[in-house]
Structure 1
Amino acid sequence: MIGQDFPVRRRAVLTEAVLTFPGGYPPLSYLGDAVSDETAAISGVRTVKSADRALQLLEYLIQSPEPRTLKEVTEALQIPRASTYALLVTLQRRGWVDANDNRFSLGLRSLQAAVTAIDLDPTVRRTEQVRQRLNADLKETVHLARLDGADVVYIQSFTAPDRPSALTRPGRRLPAYACALGKALLATREWDEVDAALPQELAPVTSRTITSRPQLRSELEQIARDGYAKEVEENTLGLTCYAIAVPATPRPSYAISCSMPLDALEQEHHALVRDRLLQAAQRLAADVDPHPSYRAPA
């Protein structure tokens, strides 16, 4: 129960959230700046220091391109060496971390967790038939990705037969501003929110990446009007990509894309890919309850 001394505005936001998500707790991102230590205390959820440190360690290893030494992990987490070692040993015993030549990396349990997360993801299940049909009919690579801050994370891909494609492993991250998947999702947000989430400098991924904020804003406005995003060689040279946001309430956080090589493709095929993605968005929108903050595809 929300206490009497809880700020009125936060109480109102939480009440709206409960009504919007009657099946359970809303995501923290929905509550925005109304989320604070006060809300955590009132809901009975407090950060457990040891668990928080263990997760920080796993997140560090997830982002590491190679196995790390005890010294590197200790310096990265900025916690005592003895505590770091105890965490690593505990996680190793449970199978979450592997140790070889005094270097640590993710273990088999981490891989199993990732696979299970994908298998149980409701959006993966909800969009699977649509994505499989796009892949089979268009004979192009189809991706599903999720927005995570200023990046998109690839969740699942169906590759095209006999077609070159970008690296499609689950967990791959790309700047949202540099790919059609990300732009399709950023276009469902207000510019002020997008601007705040993006890094100060839009670093180029390729020579064709848009790095100008005014140009990006203009493109996102056009994407919002069109209902789909397109990029050409902005993250992978030789490839172009079309994408649509997966309709959802209160707003989309997943997107579906179709990527294909630039050479030997007729404009009619580009138009077909675009139209099929728009049709997919309309089909997926049919099972979504409308919400004031959701922009339906045109």
Structure 2
Amino acid sequence: MSNFQGPAPRRTGPGGRASGARGNGGEDVYGAASVANALRALAYLGGRDTARVTDVSDHLGVARSTAHRLLHTLRLHGFVEQVPGGRQYRLGPVLMALAESRAAVESRSRIGTAELVRIARPFLEQLRDEAGETSNLLQLDGPDALFLDGVDGPHVLRVAPRTGDRVPAYATAGGKAQLAQLPVEAVRMLYPAGLDQLTPATVADLAELEADLARARRRGYALNIDESVTDVHGFGMPVRDGHGVCVAAVTVSAPSTRGGRARAAGLAPLLRRAADGITSRL
């Protein structure tokens, strides 16, 4: 863990209360003191494995009851958590989720979109030839999945590539393959207002999405059965960089007449070969 503990404890006023941003009448302007204490408490926890209420109280220069209320509020929102069976606190799942999401963003920035597309193209072509269907490369962009590249399938009746299109990630196989690599808390933060229905088959809510992503993690690939476009089925697998961070996804898209859940087992090895091939070149 980092040794950063935040700024030195602030000057305290009478009764051990921390002085903060105050108006002319002495009032806490916009709750600035509370916000500052919350941020300093998080920075303090970030520098150690766990801390007690008294540790946080002493560091902030506030009463123990104030520190307890602060930690309680942070715990309710997932920024800190209590160690099971004790009175210790540590950083919570929301911050861990943000850290993992940031790692993925930094990895994508290092690679670059143009470089990723260049590396992936021959593997998309091979995937198209082996599957006999349109193949795509997608990347998470906030709550959406962005289609970076695609290769047309060989059949007259086929799904056209959607290069340049942006679709809610939860409604695409490639988007779900990447969402499944994120902590649950990070996925929830992407959709604070819930999920919009693109078709009657689109996942209806966050609980259903979380269950779907859990299945995708167990299988190793994600499915889109009529969820973004009716009668279009997608099969997606995550692509990782050399450090194991998910940076994109490859998919196969097929009309429903050649799709269905039963076809996934046959496509999974082809998707894995394409994903592993891209990873080997990153």
TM-score range, shorter-chain basis?
A: 0.5 to 0.7
Change (3 A) 1:6 1:255: same
Match of 1:17 in 2: none
Segment drifting more, 204-213 vs 274-283: 274-283
Q: Summarize deviations over 1:227-283 as a string: whole Å, max 9, x none.
A: 111110000111111001111246213111000011156877543222211233334
> What letter matches 1:255 in structure 2?
A
Q: Over aligned residues, Cα RMSD in angstroms?
A: 3.3
Query: Matches of residues 203-282 of structure 1 in structure 2 within 5 Å?
Result: 203-248=196-241, 249=243, 251-264=245-258, 269-282=263-276
> What letter matches 2:102 in structure 1?
S
Change (3 A) 1:284 1:157: closer
Segment drifting more, 137-146 vs 245-254: 245-254
**Are positions 1:162 and 2:155 aligned together?**
yes
Is contact 1:140-1:163 (8 Å) kept? no
Change (3 A) 1:273 1:28: closer
Is contact 1:152-1:175 (8 Å) kept? yes
Q: What's the CA shift for 1:6?
A: 7.2
With the length of structure 2 as denominator, give the TM-score of the two structures.
Answer: 0.57
Q: Which structure 2 segments of 5+ residues have no match?
A: 8-39, 48-99, 106-111
Match of 2:176 in 1: 183
- In structure 2, distance between residues paired with 1:214 and 1:139: 34
User: Relative CO higher for 1 or 2, CA cutoff 8 Å, sep ≥ 6?
Assistant: 2
Match of 2:102 among 24, 29, 32: 29
Match of 1:128 in 2: 121
- In structure 2, distance between residues paired with 1:262 and 1:31: 33
State the secondary structure of the residue aligned to 1:241.
strand
Is contact 2:159-2:254 (8 Å) kept? no
Is contact 1:141-1:160 (8 Å) kept? yes
Match of 1:55 in 2: none
> What letter matches 1:153 in structure 2?
L
> What letter matches 2:257 in structure 1?
D
Match of 2:142 in 1: 149
The number of residue pairs the alignment matches comes to 185
Q: Which structure 1 segments of 5+ residues have no match?
A: 14-26, 33-118, 289-298
With the length of structure 1 as denominator, give the TM-score of the two structures.
Answer: 0.54
- In structure 2, distance between residues paired with 1:244 and 1:218: 17
Is contact 2:135-2:161 (8 Å) kept? no
Change (3 A) 1:275 1:5: closer
Q: Summarize deviations over 1:141-188 as a string: whole Å, max 9, x none.
A: 001111000001111110112344455343211001111111000000
Change (3 A) 1:211 1:163: farther
> What letter matches 2:275 in structure 1?
A
Larger Cα-atom Rg? 2
> What letter matches 1:128 in structure 2?
R
Q: What's the CA shift for 1:286?
A: 4.3
> What letter matches 2:236 in structure 1?
A
- In structure 2, distance between residues paired with 1:182 and 1:6: 37
**Are positions 1:140 and 2:133 aligned together?**
yes
> What letter matches 1:281 in structure 2?
A
Give structure 1 regions of 4+ aligned residues with deviation exceeding 6 angstroms: none
State the secondary structure of the residue aligned to 1:253.
strand
> What letter matches 1:179 in structure 2?
T
Match of 1:173 in 2: 166
Q: Summarize deviations over 1:64-92 as a string: whole Å, max 9, x none.
A: xxxxxxxxxxxxxxxxxxxxxxxxxxxxx
Is contact 1:165-1:239 (8 Å) kept? no
Identity of aligned residues (%): 24
State the secondary structure of the residue aligned to 2:177.
helix
